[in-house]
Amino acid sequence: MSIQERAHASKKASIRLAALDGETKNNALEAIAIKLEARKTEIIAANREDCARVAAESPDTPLLKRLRFEDEKLAEVTEGIRSLMKLPEPVGQTKLATQLDNGLDLYRISCPIGVIGVIFESRPDALVQISSLCLKSGNAVLLKGGSEAANTNRILAQIISEASVEAGLPEGWIQLIETRADVSEMLKLSDDIDLLIPRGSNDFVKYIMDNSSIPVLGHADGVCHIYLHSDADEAKMLPILVDAKTQYVAACNTMETLLVHESVAARLLPEIQAAMEAKNVALVGCDQTRKIISVGEATEKDWRTEYVDYKLSIKVVSSLEDAIEHINTYGSGHTDAILTEDEAAAKTFMTLVDSANVFWNCSTRFSDGFRYGFGAEVGISTSKIHARGPVGLDGLMIYKYKLIGHGQTVGEFASGKLTYTHEALNKDCPL
Amino acid sequence: MSIQERAHASKKASIRLAALDGETKNNALEAIAIKLEARKTEIIAANREDCARVAAESPDTPLLKRLRFEDEKLAEVTEGIRSLMKLPEPVGQTKLATQLDNGLDLYRISCPIGVIGVIFESRPDALVQISSLCLKSGNAVLLKGGSEAANTNRILAQIISEASVEAGLPEGWIQLIETRADVSEMLKLSDDIDLLIPRGSNDFVKYIMDNSSIPVLGHADGVCHIYLHSDADEAKMLPILVDAKTQYVAACNTMETLLVHESVAARLLPEIQAAMEAKNVALVGCDQTRKIISVGEATEKDWRTEYVDYKLSIKVVSSLEDAIEHINTYGSGHTDAILTEDEAAAKTFMTLVDSANVFWNCSTRFSDGFRYGFGAEVGISTSKIHARGPVGLDGLMIYKYKLIGHGQTVGEFASGKLTYTHEALNKDCPL
């Protein structure tokens, strides 16, 4: 089948999938977990082939770690599937109920988006995670994984498809796409694909955004800040700064720029420098910073850079407003925190900083679907519409309006014979 | 100022606007209504200039009716502003509150999207309506109206800007764009513009969608269906069909295709033909239809066409499933209705038809923000993400996460020293 035909098949399957009840979907999830466990040996063998091929080509690549899929990763993904089963059924919830007239009732009902195109890089666990999220939310999915993981992805997709179709899911709801050429084609299929979720490097996400008219859920950068206000509590400061910068440097919610109020810079920067350098963090700073501590020079480019590394830029600012202005100018709208003991300053910061996640007195590293308690995460969005910040199952849902009448026409209301009541109804949609 | 500078100015204003309380915004709305009334003579004079110019160029154009803005339209828009004031404040609502740990509280708070670019055609009332919706929802707005209404738009935008800034709104929150070249530039400004709302013809909306990477809220077509099931109530049938087709043919929620179950086609089609022809509706039909009534031939193209005229295509289908399949294949995902007395059939239809609005036993013409009780309408969306169907103030809102801690780090949770509680909090965000 061509990619067009496969996208079309998944669109058709998505209609049936959207109509399934929660029990059928949970049974399918359980069947997938069981089959993944039962065929463990095959999965690991396929993965070892992939790893051996990649290792032969470039033995030292960090890719190998992400690519490896053995007992531990398998246990993680099946545990993930089982915790997903425990989440409330997202489809068919009545979000709004309004009586338009006696016997004319309007309901806003949650429903799946339709067909999700997911493009991810080398981690095969992403395939299982994303397809089980799509299943739970009633969405069909087109998956394109990294070519390094071709064998692993093929067997995982095959197991998920077989187990779920045996459990009553419509054939074709999950499709694996294998070639780069197919991805270019996929980006054009706006009639059949409703949302793209690219997971991977910033450049990769940006490429997808620039090359498709299909809506994209993803973030192109994570330039996160912490602002030390003049009254920041020093006891809280170092643990938070060290955590935000070094707990996992490759994450998008890692601090890249530290802003320090000028009234405390001279006192605090030396201990910050010591703590960061003890963790091998390279520092660059603005002119004012460099008058206080001996660090490299930060250029305009630094303020916009997501280092994804043991590196931090530091800027001294003269006010809360300057800090906010810097963040809104150079930040990426991801996650920004203020350290202060002044509630009014925190409120100003959290209101005026235009980011998906705004924090007071805690590490930027908390912005994450699992930590937020969403159970599972599709990704983190820096888009301003649909879903913002860590995106759980909610981000894969939309709604439809159901209107139930008894023969009403608009003409009767236009003529004044009937009038809209617009009363809130306290009940769920009967169908 | 260049369009880039103006978009950037509106972005800056949007930050301040997002922080305003409901009272300030309502006072600004009232000030706008008062100033519009006070400067009525000037507005009407400006509009008459526009109308005279258009009338001189093309005396018979239907545009003139939409362009005209005199006492009645002015009364309508000021009434609209005052009813908008009565709607609940949309900004700052706590949508979710979760305790992540003792003293680490997460809140999802509604907030404006940021900067909305609105491109509308000849109706000057759209300028007032959209800018007051943006104000109420805390969004800055770039407006581009039709060049026919240049004088009217200029004075309306000036009055709205003056009155609102006097009432405490940040300067630059509303910007009028006047040239076509500026629109092309505007479509590129994805850093400063967060959402585009094009209002106008389908071709126009499609053009915008195809030429910008900024998310677009709009619909490209309204190919709406009614399906007459085998047990449709004949007493309800004709009033609904005639209303759906003729109550206002130029609307996007007007029925364009009628699907009839084969078991009732022979009996019902003649009376439908009589009722439609009495209203001057031209009919075309499939082969089976034409064996029963004498009408023109419907081609494949008819099934995809939004006539926006006194014309209806008719197709005989052999089952509920065929009707659903036809709608999902040829429809535009706007509004589709079933007439049946069978609740199970209605449920199947409403679940499997993949449209924003699915109706049972009432006219498709009800899909409209005012009729739905949303108070005001931004437009109707056939997109599958963010907002679907009639879009009220909700469609101009997004949310941000506020996390309030006391020094917590992710490392303490990763090491097992702390564990996430993830308990729902029953309170609003304190800041």
For position A89, which CATH number holds?
Answer: 3.40.605.10
Question: Do the chains contact at A114 and B360, CB–CB below 8 Å?
Answer: no
Q: Which residue of B has its CA nearest to A115?
A: B384
What would the 3-class secondary structure string for A18-37 be? HCCCHHHHHHHHHHHHHHHH
Report how far residue B334's alpha carbon sits from residue B222's, in angstroms, rounded to the nearest whole number: 6
- Chain A contact for B363, CB < 8 A? yes
- Which residue in A204, A226, A209, A200 sits closest to A334, CA to CA? A226
Give a yes or no: residue A425 inside a domain.
Answer: no
B165 and B26 in a common domain? yes
What strand order describes the sheet that includes B282-285?
A423-424, A94-101, A104-112, A397-408, B357-362, B335-339, B224-228, B255-261, B311-317, B282-285, B296-297
Report how far residue B169's alpha carbon sits from residue B164's, in angstroms, rounded to the nearest whole number: 6
Question: Do the chains contact at B233 and A408, CB–CB below 8 Å?
Answer: no
A274 and A208 in a common domain? no
B160 and B81 in a common domain? yes
Question: Do the chains contact at A210 and B210, CB–CB below 8 Å?
Answer: no
Give a yes or no: residue A399 inside a domain.
Answer: no
Give a yes or no: residue A411 inside a domain.
Answer: no
Report how far residue A206's alpha carbon sits from residue A195's, in angstroms, rounded to the nearest whole number: 15
Beta strands at A423-424 and A94-101: parallel, antiparallel or unpaired = antiparallel
Beta bridge mates, A255: A224
Q: Which of A19, A243, A384 sits opposite B411 (nearest CB)?
A: A243
Question: Do the chains contact at A402 and B359, CB–CB below 8 Å?
Answer: yes
Report how far residue A31's alpha carbon sits from residue A23's, in angstroms, rounded to the nearest whole number: 12
Residue A400, class by beta-carbon neighbours within 10 Å (0-12 exposed, 13-18 middle, 19+ buried)?
buried
Which residues between 198 and 237 in chain A have a beta carbon less than 8 angstroms from any beta carbon of chain B? 209-210, 213, 215, 233, 235-236
Report how far residue B78's alpha carbon sits from residue B88's, in angstroms, rounded to the nearest whole number: 18
B87 and B152 in a common domain? yes
Give a yes or no: residue A53 inside a domain.
Answer: yes
Q: Which of B114, B355, B389 sits opposite A354 (nearest CB)?
A: B114
Which residues between 149 and 188 in chain A have a beta carbon less than 8 angstroms from any beta carbon of chain B? none
Q: Which of B217, B346, B355 sits opposite A431 (nearest CB)?
A: B346
Please provide the distance, in angstroms rounded to a whole number, between the alpha carbons at the two ends of chain A: 36
CATH number, residue B343 = 3.40.309.10
Residues of B within 8 A of A343 (CB-CB) are 430-431
- Give ∠ CA A46-A49-A55 in degrees, rounded to 5: 140
Q: A130 vs chain B: nearest CA distance in angstroms? A: 18
Residue A220 in this model has a pLDDT that exceeds 80: no
Evaluate whether B197 touches B310 at the Cβ level (below 8 Å): no
Report how far residue B195's alpha carbon sits from residue B350's, in angstroms, rounded to the nearest whole number: 30
Give the total number of structural domains in chain A: 2
The pLDDT profile of chain B, 431 residues, written as one tens digit per residue, is: 899 999 999 999 999 999 999 999 999 999 999 999 999 999 999 999 999 999 999 887 778 888 999 999 999 999 999 999 999 999 999 999 999 999 999 999 999 999 999 998 778 998 999 999 999 999 999 999 988 999 999 999 999 999 999 999 999 999 999 888 888 999 999 999 999 998 877 788 888 888 888 998 887 789 999 999 999 999 999 999 999 999 999 889 999 999 999 999 999 999 999 999 999 999 999 999 999 999 999 999 999 999 989 999 999 999 999 999 999 999 999 999 999 999 999 999 999 999 999 999 999 999 999 899 987 788 889 889 999 999 989 999 999 999 999 999 999 999 999 999 999 999 999 98
- Chain B contact for A390, CB < 8 A? yes
CB pairs under 8 A between A and B: 247
**Using one digit for the tens of pLDDT, what is the confidence trace for B358-396?**
999 999 999 999 899 987 788 889 889 999 999 989 999
Q: Which residue of B has its CA nearest to A363?
A: B409
Q: Which residue of B has its CA nearest to A415?
A: B247
**Using one digit for the tens of pLDDT, what is the confidence trace for A136-181?**
999 999 999 988 999 999 999 999 999 999 999 999 999 999 888 8
Q: Which of A358, A371, A403 sits opposite B357 (nearest CB)?
A: A403
**Using one digit for the tens of pLDDT, what is the confidence trace for A88-143?**
999 999 999 999 999 999 999 999 999 999 998 778 998 999 999 999 999 999 99
- Which residue in B214, B135, B140 sits closest to B173, CA to CA? B140
- Which residue in B241, B244, B226, B247 sits closest to B274, CA to CA? B241
Residues of B within 8 A of A192 (CB-CB) are none
Q: What DSSP string describes A30-76?
A: HHHHHHHHHTHHHHHHHHHHHHHHHHHH-TT-THHHHH--SHHHHHH
Q: What is the DSSP letter of B148?
A: G
Question: Do the chains contact at B385 and A386, CB–CB below 8 Å?
Answer: yes
Report how far residue B360's alpha carbon sits from residue A358's, in angstroms, rounded to the nearest whole number: 44
- Chain B contact for A247, CB < 8 A? yes
- Chain A contact for B390, CB < 8 A? yes
A286 and A203 in a common domain? no
Decide which of B329, B346, B366 is a domain's last residue: B366
Q: What is the pLDDT of residue B205?
A: 83
Residue A86, class by beta-carbon neighbours within 10 Å (0-12 exposed, 13-18 middle, 19+ buried)?
exposed
B209 and B230 in a common domain? no
Give a yes or no: residue B28 inside a domain.
Answer: yes
Backbone angles phi, psi at A423, to 5 degrees: -100, 140
List of residues 6+ apart from A429 with CB closer than 8 A: A92, A94, A97, A107, A109, A402, A404
Decide which of B341, B366, B391 is a domain's last residue: B366
Q: Which residue of B has its CA nearest to A193?
A: B384
Domain of B288, in residue numbers: 224-366
B309 and B179 in a common domain? no
The kind and range of the H/E element at A260 are strand A255-261
The whole-angstrom distance between residue B390's C-alpha and the CA centroid of its chain comes to 5
A240 and A103 in a common domain? no
Residue type, A285: G
Q: Where are the alpha helices (DSSP H) in B19-70?
A: 22-38, 40-57, 63-67
Report how far residue B349's alpha carbon sits from residue B331's, in angstroms, rounded to the nearest whole number: 14
Evaluate whether A173 touches A163 at the Cβ level (below 8 Å): no
pTM: 0.93
A323 and A263 in a common domain? yes
Report how far residue A91's alpha carbon sits from residue A113's, in angstroms, rounded to the nearest whole number: 10
Give a yes or no: residue B203 inside a domain.
Answer: yes
Q: Which of B367, B384, B431 sits opposite A347 (nearest CB)?
A: B431
Q: What DSSP string describes B64-109?
A: HHHH--SHHHHHHHHHHHHHHHHSPP-TT-EEEEEEEETTEEEEEE
- Chain A contact for B414, CB < 8 A? yes
Report how far residue B144's alpha carbon sits from residue B110's, in angstroms, rounded to the nearest whole number: 27
Give a yes or no: residue B158 inside a domain.
Answer: yes
- Chain B contact for A2, CB < 8 A? no
Decide which of A316, A331, A366 is a domain's last residue: A366
Residues of B within 8 A of A359 (CB-CB) are 402-405
Q: Which of A114, A361, A411 sits opposite B406 (nearest CB)?
A: A361
Report how far residue B30's alpha carbon sits from residue B23's, in angstroms, rounded to the nearest whole number: 10
Structure tokens at B275: 């009722």
Q: Where are the alpha helices (DSSP H) in A138-231?
A: 150-166, 180-186, 202-210
Report how far residue A148's alpha carbon sits from residue A144's, in angstroms, rounded to the nearest whole number: 12
- Which residue in B406, B403, B400 sits closest to B430, CA to CA? B403
List of residues 6+ apart from B252 with CB closer than 8 A: B219, B221, B222, B224, B306, B334, B380
A194 and A298 in a common domain? no
Q: Which of B361, B367, B400 sits opposite A405 (nearest CB)?
A: B361
B288 and B143 in a common domain? no
Residue A200 in this model has a pLDDT that exceeds 80: no
Share of chain A above pLDDT 90, in %: 84
Question: Do the chains contact at A366 and B403, CB–CB below 8 Å?
Answer: yes
Report how far residue B165's alpha carbon sits from residue A102's, in angstroms, rounded to the nearest whole number: 44
Rounded to the nearest 10 degrees, the angle between the axes of helix A71-86 and helix A22-38 is 170
B272 and B197 in a common domain? no
Give a yes or no: residue B162 inside a domain.
Answer: yes
